[in-house]
Amino acid sequence: MEPTVSICVANYNGAELIGRCLDSIYAQNSDATIEILVHDDASDDDSVAIVSRRFPDVRLLSSADNVGFCRANNKMVAAASGTYVLLLNNDAWLAEDAVETLLRAQRVYGESILTLPQFNADDERFSDCGMFMDVLATPMLILEKSEQPVATVMGSCLWLSRALWDQCGGFPPWFGSIAEDMYLCNYARILGYPVVALSHSAYYHHVGHSFGGGKVVAGELTTTIVRRRLSERNKLYVMFLFYPLPLLLLVFPLQLSLLAVEGMVLAIIKRRPSVFTRIYGHALWAFVLNLPDLAGRRREVQARRVIGNREYLSVFRWFPHKLRMLMRHGIPKIQ
């Protein structure tokens, strides 16, 4: 009998955390048949040995070379047999009613992308519940438990049907990592499928464990060169591919200019020219180099759009979230 749900766990050097992640899947209070797949992305720790020894029923895939988060998940979903797919980070674990909550919501919303409330794994306090986006494609955490349509959810706990995954083409392998969840959610939305953050159950997450940064520590926003570089580049791609033409013409030139200015200002303040060259210069140059390919992809994506501009923008916010974070937390720490 084919499984109801395939839970796919992308792993890289997760020996300290993978056990708790998989234990939480086995502890699910649900009658659904669950298949578990783990993709190890060329880890150099004991991850593979731990999974093989403690969880012999897990379908373990591996890569000789590090292929990145997008390709790892694409490989797992391609090998999965379930009607539904739950993508789960190796540094996250589920509440016991998570799968049953998602299945019930699937019956309510039909084809959709779903997520659960996220809790901080360190102190098990509530963190957020899905994300809106500002018009410059910066995701904005929703800091209240409220079941509602959202712009995007985190790939650390992302549920959808296999059929919807296939309609969207999965994660874009050319993203590598970071913002692939924004891509998938935006794609589903323009195809007419809702993205919904649920208000019940939970998953617990060590945010930033894989790439470092991406969170507020002691009131200071921390990030890394690699995370910020991938984030800025891939958000440009998301804007260019999915934004309605009027919005794109309005904000995309502004975004390119703001990125250049932001990069130069940060490089001067931190006295690190590499902040500009390795993050902002890289993102801008990558967009220019890939523009012909991106233009073709945009035509394909926009030809499939079924929702209007007003509906698409209903989960966007106009005030720039970076500016809000700057006023609240100051200049980010870049490691």
**Closest C-alpha to 44, from 70, 88, 17, 14:** 14
Q: How much of the chain exceeds pLDDT 70, in percent? A: 97
For residue 216, the model assigns a pLDDT of 72
Task: Count other C-beta atoms under 10 Å from residue 295's C-beta.
Answer: 11
Which of 170, 205, 240 marks a domain boundary?
Answer: 205
* Residue 245 within a domain: yes
* Residue 210 within a domain: no
Which of 161, 177, 205 marks a domain boundary?
Answer: 205
- Tell me the DSSP string of 251-264: HHHHHHHHHHHHHH
Is the predicted pLDDT of residue 208 greater than 80, yes or no?
no
* Residue 257 within a domain: yes
Give φ, ψ of 224 to 5 degrees: -130, 165
**224 and 188 within one domain:** no
Give the range of the structural domain holding residue 220, as residue numbers without chain letter.
215-334
In whole angstroms, give the CA distance from residue 189 to residue 290: 24
Q: Is the dihedral of CA 170, 172, 173, 175 positive or negative?
A: negative
Tell me: the pLDDT tens digits for 216-229?
766 788 889 999 99
Q: Which pLDDT band holds residue 175 (cuts at 50, 70, 90)?
A: very high
HSE-CB for 10 with a 13 A CA cutoff? 24
**89 and 161 within one domain:** yes
For residue 215, the model assigns a pLDDT of 63
Mean pLDDT along residues 199-211? 85
Place of tokens 């959808």: 160
**147 and 232 within one domain:** no
Give pTM, 2 decimals.
0.96
**191 and 49 within one domain:** yes
List the structure tokens of 180: 């692939």
Mean pLDDT along residues 43-54? 95
**187 and 71 within one domain:** yes
Q: How much of the chain exceeds pLDDT 90, in percent? A: 91
**295 and 236 within one domain:** yes
* Residue 220 within a domain: yes
Which of 187, 205, 223 marks a domain boundary?
Answer: 205
| Least confident segment among 76-90, 165-179, 187-201, 204-218 | 204-218
**285 and 255 within one domain:** yes
Element containing residue 161 per DSSP (H, E): strand 157-161
Kindly report the CATH number assigned to the domain that includes residue 180. 3.90.550.10
Tell me: the pLDDT tens digits for 293-333?
999 999 999 999 999 999 999 999 999 999 999 999 899 88
List the structure tokens of 158: 């992302």
**98 and 15 within one domain:** yes
Mean pLDDT along residues 78-89? 98
Tally of domains within the chain = 2
**b/e map 228-264, b = 16+ CB within 10 Å:** bbbbbbbbbbbbbbbbbeebbeebbeebbebbeebbe
For residue 222, the model assigns a pLDDT of 86
Mean pLDDT along residues 138-157? 97
For residue 214, the model assigns a pLDDT of 61
* Residue 98 within a domain: yes
Mean pLDDT along residues 154-160? 98
Mean pLDDT along residues 276-285? 97
Question: Which residues lie below 8 Å from residue 137, measured CB to CB, with a gap of 6+?
Answer: 182, 235, 236, 238, 239, 255
Q: 55 vs 33, 75, 268, 269, CA distance in Å? A: 16, 20, 50, 49
Mean pLDDT for the chain overall: 95
* Residue 299 within a domain: yes
* Residue 312 within a domain: yes
**144 and 80 within one domain:** yes
List the structure tokens of 31: 């009658």
Mean pLDDT along residues 85-103? 98
Strand, coil or helix: 131: strand
